[in-house]
Structure 1
Amino acid sequence: MSGNARTGCFDDWFCVSTAPQTGVLRVYLTRPHPVVVSVYSDAITPSPYTVALTSTTPHIIGKLAQPETFWSDMRKKWTGGKQHAQHDDTVIYGWPLQPVGQYPIVQGVNGRFSHQGASRYAFDFAAPPGTFVFAARSGVVIDLQQHFSQGGPHRRYAPYANYISILHDDGTTGEYYHLQPHSSTVAIGETVNKGQHIGATGNTGFTSLPHLHFAVYTAQAEGRYTSVPIRFAQP
């Protein structure tokens, strides 16, 4: 084998590289936040190969006989957060919209519109666009999107939701979705405190009305995630 090392980096989060002389296949973080990565290719066994990355130290997946074969069909999926994190059930969450009681929950646990399966423990709060959103729990911002403006009541709009993802100290993530474009007041890597203003509600992504979708998730393999039950402070 000859030539230069080949590298593919994804979403400013992690990279996959192959070494031409040795065929060594590596995956590594490009930011110091945990993520669960699953790599698919007929050139590796098992496929998918899943690894929970927690540091920037490269993880060796294995050696490839033909690296170019790997790149021809390589696919990847990932989810931010600690794999199979155990939620701290003693935590009491703050309300992400204030004042409490002014913004009704229009879809709660096991909601029929979209709160089944992975999102069964999510909450949707109806709120006019531009309503301030506050961190329900302290943590570190590990991901955000604020450039989309599309939204509607069809799953084809799901990729266009603006969001903020905050990593908690137990490895779970608090997810704040459907935010107003360019409303984030925080940045990736920033530590935020419970009750801190982080953004504003909007109507982006898969949504039938302006609202905030909030849930706490644990990361799983193959791009999956699972919501967990939480408790809010008494109003």
Structure 2
Amino acid sequence: MKTTSPLYLLGILILLYACTNDDNLKDDLIGTGEIGQIDSNAASCSEVDFGNWESSKYNLPYHPGESRQIGLSSCSGSYHSAGFPDQFAVDFEMQIGDFVLAARGGTVIYVEESGTDGNYPNNIIVIRHVDGTFGQYMHLTFDGAVVERGQTVAQGDLIGYSGATGFA
């Protein structure tokens, strides 16, 4: 199921903390925390050291050899800035129906796929990594998850299909 219109479809949010109570996880994932202030004196992204990609634990959420333009990230401001709910999020421009791959292996702990493209809710897959961090894959298409809660996935596994749900 593809469309020719590229949209800001997939937001991947790598949470750098461990939630200890899965019952409260859904609330933690929707950005209900306090909003920080944008630092207008912060360095531009060209001045930031992102580390060596070759030693990263994470892969990009699409097939090797493909490239995607970044729509929103910590470099673009808005809710992706430091201190904001999506400060670690990166939105890749993808087409509806493009494969979404696990950036890192782990256990699927949450799946929402009832939203329709252009509407809410935001379809989400959350994967808990072995070190207690989480990968959150957002803006999936309706019924676009191919994984289920409790399933173990490996890095690079197909987990769903991109869409335009939520604020995409």
Tell me which interval the TM-score lies in, with the shorter structure as reference length: 0.5 to 0.7
Task: Tell me the equivalent position of 1:123.
Answer: 90
Aligned mates of 2:106, 2:156 — CA distance in 1 = 11
1:181 is aligned to 2:142:
yes
Task: Tell me the equivalent position of 1:64.
Answer: none
Deviation string, structure 1 residues 149-197 (Cα, Å, up to 9, x no partner): 1536xxxx5xx10010000111111000000111111100000000000
Q: Which residues of structure 1 form unaligned runs of 5+?
A: 1-32, 39-51, 53-76, 81-89, 208-235
Amino acid in structure 2 at the alignment position of 1:115: H
Bigger radius of gyration, 1 or 2?
1
Deviation string, structure 1 residues 199-228 (Cα, Å, up to 9, x no partner): 010000012xxxxxxxxxxxxxxxxxxxxx
Aligned mates of 1:142, 1:36 — CA distance in 2 = 8
Amino acid in structure 2 at the alignment position of 1:189: G
Task: Tell me the equivalent position of 1:79.
Answer: 28
- Contact 1:128/1:202, CA 8 A, preserved across alignment: yes
Pick from 84, 99, 113 the counterpart of residue 146 of structure 1. 113
- Contact 1:37/1:79, CA 8 A, preserved across alignment: no
> What SS does structure 2 have at the residue aligned with 1:180?
strand
- Contact 1:111/1:120, CA 8 A, preserved across alignment: no
Aligned mates of 1:79, 1:124 — CA distance in 2 = 19
1:98 is aligned to 2:63:
yes
Distance 1:145 1:36, change over 3 A: closer
> What SS does structure 1 have at the residue aligned with 2:60?
coil
Q: Which residues of structure 2 form unaligned runs of 5+?
A: 1-18, 30-54
Which has the larger share of strand? Answer: 1
Q: Which has the higher contact order (CA 8 A, sep 6+)?
A: 2
The Cα shift of 1:91 comes to 4.6
Superposition pairs for residues 213-224 of structure 1, below 5 Å? Answer: none
- Contact 1:94/1:136, CA 8 A, preserved across alignment: yes
Aligned mates of 2:66, 2:72 — CA distance in 1 = 15
Task: Tell me the equivalent position of 1:161.
Answer: 122
Q: How many residues align?
A: 123
Deviation string, structure 1 residues 57-103 (Cα, Å, up to 9, x no partner): xxxxxxxxxxxxxxxxxxxx8437xxxxxxxxx75211101244521
Distance 1:37 1:134, change over 3 A: closer
Amino acid in structure 2 at the alignment position of 1:131: D
Q: TM-score, normalised by structure 2?
A: 0.64
Superposition pairs for residues 1-235 of structure 1, below 5 Å? Answer: 34-35=20-21, 78-79=27-28, 91-116=56-81, 117-151=84-118, 157=120, 160-207=121-168
Aligned mates of 1:151, 1:138 — CA distance in 2 = 29
Q: TM-score, normalised by structure 1?
A: 0.47
Identity of aligned residues (%): 34
